[in-house]
Amino acid sequence: MTNQNIAASVKTHQQEMIAFRRDLHAHPELPWEEVRTTQKVAQALEAIGIPFRLTKPTGVIADIKGGKPGKTVALRADMDALPVLELNEDLSYKSQTAGKMHACGHDAHTAMLLTAAKALYENRAEMRGNVRLIFQPAEEIAQGAIEMVKQGAIEGVDNVFGMHIWSTSPTGKVSCNVGSTFASADLLKVTFKGRGGHGSMPEACVDAAVVASSFVVNLQSIVSRETSPLEPAVVSIGKMDIGTRFNVIAENAVLDGTVRCFNVENRERIKAAIERYAEHTAAMYGATAKVEYIYGTLPVINEERSALLAQSVIRSAFGDECLFAEKPTTGGEDFSFYIENIPGCFALLGSRNVEKGTDWAHHHGCFNIDEDAMVKGAELYAQYAWSYLQQDKF
Residue ranges at the known binding site for Mn(2+): 104, 106, 140, 164, 363
- The whole-angstrom separation of Cα 160 and Cα 68 is 20
* Residue numbering of the annotated binding site: 104, 106, 140, 164, 363
* Dist CA 92 CA 23 (whole Å): 10
Specify the 3-state DSSP secondary structure of 222. helix
How would you classify the pairing of strands 159-170 and 68-78? parallel
Cβ neighbours, 10 Å, residue 186: 22
DSSP string, 321-345: GGB--PPPBS---GGGGTTTTS-EE
Q: What is the 3-state secondary structure (H, E, C) of 138-204?
A: CCCCCCHHHHHHHCCCCCCCCEEEEEEEEEEEECCCEECCCEEEECEEEEEEEEEECECEECCCHHH
121: left (phi over 0), alpha (psi -120 to 50) or beta: alpha
Cα 207 to the center of its chain, rounded Å: 39
Q: List strand residue ranges (DSSP E) for the chain, in order.
A: 52-54, 60-65, 68-78, 128-136, 159-170, 174-175, 179-182, 184-193, 197-198, 233-242, 248-249, 252-261, 288-297, 300-302, 344-352
Q: Which residues contact 157 (CB under 8 A, 6 or more apart)?
A: 72, 73, 74, 132, 342
